[in-house]
């Protein structure tokens, strides 16, 4: 169990923050790692410290505690939120429940009340970490909560095209509440590594199964079971848009698995279906979508309807490029090897984003060239890589990762070292950057609106910004707006209030606050010094 839980305290009153910190005892189990006076500063601290709990006031400037909790639930799903407030209103409490806020503390706060409050929070966190980390307990809960007969029948049903009345009656006899509704099936696959044992894979599946128990409780119907390569989950709900909601849940599972289980997941998702008779078909759609996660230009969550709408194209390489590549491996400089590889890999770009790239032919050509090279220099490839290089290269779904691995392999054979090559998915992130630069003045621009414009999921775009740009979406948007504001302040006579509006801020005071934070100067000081 963790020695102390990391806490960030958010309140716009300095004296309130100070009093609360002095009342938090060492034995409470919490350490305050950061304090903020508003929600925007709090988000920066959350990104920096990855706290277990954010204790925030509800009534604050810029963004209130409700909006802060909503952002945390979306972008930092493993962080818990608790409220402190002097506003005892039903609507706040209702929204807090909807946002999974774990507790609620009223001002003024006494030492005794704070001790009870922290004890409750620590109990909640202890139980959650124990629930998702203790393999022995996970195995026991799985055996107790999942009827093996249901899983056995569902596994056998996967081989069918549709279910008949007899099949449905069997499932209903086990207590499954099957009815018509908006269903979707997801196949959660575990990315395997050479050092993974069978026991490691089984523990990972049980870990995921336990997460599903917790995160899918709100659905009208949900059932999940283990299969050889991962976990299958089917959910149904008619009260909300399940297609959007399940993306949040699956992204949350991916993040929990990475943070607490050191597990990397890829997930295939079926189209919506209304009759549970189509469960086998939905599994086949999810399975097919999951298989496409190994293709280039795909993310961790793959939707069947997106796959079916796109054409699959093989990457065919011109013979002259292969000849140049083989020559450069034997006689070329490091740069010439890199250039030859780039020429072969440039075909991995999907500039129109309207088709899927199948890289099997490319990989076969590369493997053949590398094997010919090793033979020509008298080296056994097993001396460099113990595994099957064809299987290894086909496992890559990111062209840049494949390129890096090939270069490392080649320069190992030539006793050279090579650093990472640039990413081959620049087109998509460039489109996002162009959209932001054209629409930064729009106060409603957000991660969701840019995702909708690019027709990709929020989770995938968020990953692209972090991985490709080395910065979060929100920080990049602020950077664009601040640089535009600097230009206007320096080269125009526009009033500060007008410039604030022109770069996407409704509130001139928050614009000034953000500008000073970005530049170290207020807008007026910046203009005067310009």
CA distances (Å), origin 495, targets 16, 121, 401, 499, 524: 36, 48, 49, 6, 10
The residue among 250, 213, 271 whose CA lies nearest residue 463 is: 250
Strand pairing category for 355-358 and 301-303: unpaired
Res 185: pLDDT: 94
CATH superfamily of 428-529: Homeodomain-like (1.10.10.60)
- The continuous run of DSSP H or E covering 490 comes out as helix 473-491
Strands (E), 93-155: 103-106
Residue 421: is its pLDDT beyond 50? no
Tens digit of each residue's pLDDT (9 = 90 or more) over 94-108: 566 556 677 777 777
Strand pairing category for 221-227 and 230-236: antiparallel
Res 310: pLDDT: 64
User: What's the whole-number mean pLDDT along residues 256-279?
Assistant: 90
The residue among 270, 300, 299, 296 whose CA lies nearest residue 282 is: 270
Q: Where are the domains of the chain?
A: 5-133, 137-309, 313-413, 428-529
Residue 33: is its pLDDT beyond 90? yes
Residue 142: is its pLDDT beyond 80? no
Residue 525: is its pLDDT beyond 70? yes
What's the whole-number average pLDDT of the chain? 82
Of the pLDDT bands very low, low, confident and very high (cuts 50, 70, 90), residue 484 is very high
The conformation of residue 191, written as its DSSP 8-state character, comes to P
Residue 44: is its pLDDT beyond 80? yes
User: What's the whole-number mean pLDDT along residues 437-466?
Assistant: 89
Residue 15: is its pLDDT beyond 70? yes
Q: Look up the pTM and report it.
A: 0.44
The reply to whether 428-529 shares the fold of 5-133 is: no
Residue 456: is its pLDDT beyond 50? yes
Res 146: pLDDT: 47
Residue 417: is its pLDDT beyond 60? no
Res 370: pLDDT: 81
CA distances (Å), origin 524, targets 493, 495, 500: 12, 10, 12
Sorted by sequence, the CB contacts under 8 Å of residue 62 that are 6+ apart come out as 38, 39, 40, 507, 510, 513
Res 518: pLDDT: 92
For residue 7, count other CB atoms closer than 10 A to its CB: 26
Q: Which residue has the higher pLDDT, 485 or 337?
A: 485
CATH superfamily of 137-309: Reverse transcriptase/Diguanylate cyclase domain (3.30.70.270)
What is the b/e burial string over 364-385, where b = at least 16 CB atoms within 10 angstroms of the residue's CB?
Answer: ebbbebbeebbeeeeeebeeee
Query: How far is it, in rounded angstroms, from Cα 52 to Cα 32?
Result: 11
User: 3-state class of 407 per DSSP?
Assistant: helix
For domain 5-133, the question of CATH label 1.10.10.60 is answered with no
Of the pLDDT bands very low, low, confident and very high (cuts 50, 70, 90), residue 418 is very low
Tens digit of each residue's pLDDT (9 = 90 or more) over 183-225: 999 999 888 765 667 788 888 888 898 889 888 888 889 888 8
Q: Which of 9-23, 286-300, 341-355 has the lowest mean pLDDT?
A: 341-355
Sign (positive or negative) of CA dihedral 90, 95, 100, 106:
negative
Q: How large is the C-alpha radius of gyration of the chain?
A: 27
Q: Which of 42-46, 172-176, 424-428 has the lowest mean pLDDT?
A: 424-428
Of the pLDDT bands very low, low, confident and very high (cuts 50, 70, 90), residue 364 is confident
């Amino acid at each position: 169990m963790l020695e102390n839980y990391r806490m960030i305290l958010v309140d716009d009153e300095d004296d309130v923050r100070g009093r609360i910190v002095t009342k938090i005892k060492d034995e409470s189990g919490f350490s305050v790692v950061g304090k903020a006076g508003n929600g925007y500063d709090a988000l920066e601290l959350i990104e920096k410290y990855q706290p277990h709990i954010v204790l925030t006031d509800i009534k604050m400037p810029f963004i209130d505690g409700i909006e802060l909790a909503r952002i945390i639930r979306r972008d930092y799903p493993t962080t818990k939120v608790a409220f402190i407030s002097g506003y005892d209103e039903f609507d706040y409490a209702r929204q807090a429940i909807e946002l999974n806020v774990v507790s609620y503390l009223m001002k003024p706060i006494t030492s005794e009340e704070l001790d009870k409050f922290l004890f409750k929070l620590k109990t909640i966190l202890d139980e959650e970490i124990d629930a998702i980390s203790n393999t022995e307990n996970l195995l026991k809960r799985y055996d107790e909560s999942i009827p093996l007969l249901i899983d056995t029948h569902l596994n056998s049903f996967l081989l069918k095209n549709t279910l008949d009345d007899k099949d449905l009656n069997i499932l209903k006899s086990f207590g499954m509440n099957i009815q018509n509704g908006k269903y979707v099936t997801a196949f959660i696959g575990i990315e395997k590594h050479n050092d993974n044992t069978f026991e490691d894979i089984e523990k990972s599946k049980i870990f995921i199964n336990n997460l599903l128990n917790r995160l899918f409780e709100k659905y009208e119907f949900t059932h999940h079971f283990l299969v050889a390569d991962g976990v299958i989950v089917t959910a149904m709900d008619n009260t909300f848009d399940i297609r959007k909601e399940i993306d949040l849940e699956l992204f949350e599972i991916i993040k929990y698995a990475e943070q607490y289980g050191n597990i990397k997941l890829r997930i295939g998702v079926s189209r919506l279906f209304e009759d549970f008779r189509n469960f086998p078909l939905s599994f086949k759609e999810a399975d097919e979508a999951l298989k496409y996660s190994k293709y280039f230009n795909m993310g961790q969550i793959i939707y069947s309807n997106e796959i079916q709408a796109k054409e699959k194209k093989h990457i065919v390489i011109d013979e002259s490029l292969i000849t140049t590549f083989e020559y450069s491996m034997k006689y070329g400089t490091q740069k010439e090897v890199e250039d030859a590889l780039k020429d072969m890999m440039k075909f991995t770009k999907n500039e129109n984003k309207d088709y899927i790239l199948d890289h099997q032919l490319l990989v076969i050509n590369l493997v053949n060239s590398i094997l010919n090279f090793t033979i020509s220099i008298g080296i056994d490839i097993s001396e460099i890589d113990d595994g099957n290089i064809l299987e290894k290269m086909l496992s890559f779904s990111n062209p840049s990762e494949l390129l890096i691995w090939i270069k490392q392999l080649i320069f190992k054979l030539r006793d050279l070292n090579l650093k990472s090559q640039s990413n081959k998915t620049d087109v998509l992130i460039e489109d996002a950057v162009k959209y932001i630069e054209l629409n930064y003045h729009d106060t409603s621009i957000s991660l969701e609106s840019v995702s909708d414009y690019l027709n990709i999921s929020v989770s995938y775009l968020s990953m692209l910004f972090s991985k490709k740009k080395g910065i979060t979406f929100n920080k990049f948007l602020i950077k664009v707006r601040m640089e535009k504001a600097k230009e206007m302040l320096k080269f125009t006579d526009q009033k500060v209030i007008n410039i604030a509006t022109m770069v996407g801020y409704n509130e001139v005071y928050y614009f000034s606050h953000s500008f000073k934070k970005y530049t170290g100067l207020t807008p007026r000081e910046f203009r005067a010094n310009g």
